Amino acid sequence: SFIEGTLEKVRQVRQRIITSGRDIRLEVDGGIKASNIRAIAEAGADMFVAGSAIFNQEDYKSAIDAMRAELALANGE
């Protein structure tokens, strides 16, 4: 499961990436699901590994759609 304290680490790493001036993707793996993907994106992640949150559902499409909807909110869409 995702450890909430990791959000601050994601923020710190995103700030380091920005400061470096490099184009670096920040991926988070572990406990990603529709209920937390928005907060993780807002902290600075831009790639997500969400295996069990998708594959433990009967309807993969609905699980993916829910995550995409949360990411759209994080991106101001």
For 12-27, give the DSSP string.
HHHHHHHHHT-----E
Identify the pLDDT of residue 48: 97
> How many structural domains is the chain composed of?
1
Backbone conformation region of residue 33, classed left if phi is above 0, alpha if psi is from -120 to 50, else beta? beta
| Low-confidence spans in the chain with pLDDT less than 70 | none
Identify the pLDDT of residue 19: 98
Identify the pLDDT of residue 33: 96
Identify the pLDDT of residue 1: 83
Instruction: Give the separation between CA 52 and CA 19, rounded to whole angstroms.
Output: 33
Which amino acid, 55? Answer: F
Q: Is residue 16 part of a domain?
A: yes
Full residue range of the structural domain in which residue 44 is found: 6-74
Identify the pLDDT of residue 4: 86
| CA dihedral of residues 40, 45, 46, 47 (deg, nearest 10) | -80
Q: Is residue 1 part of a domain?
A: no
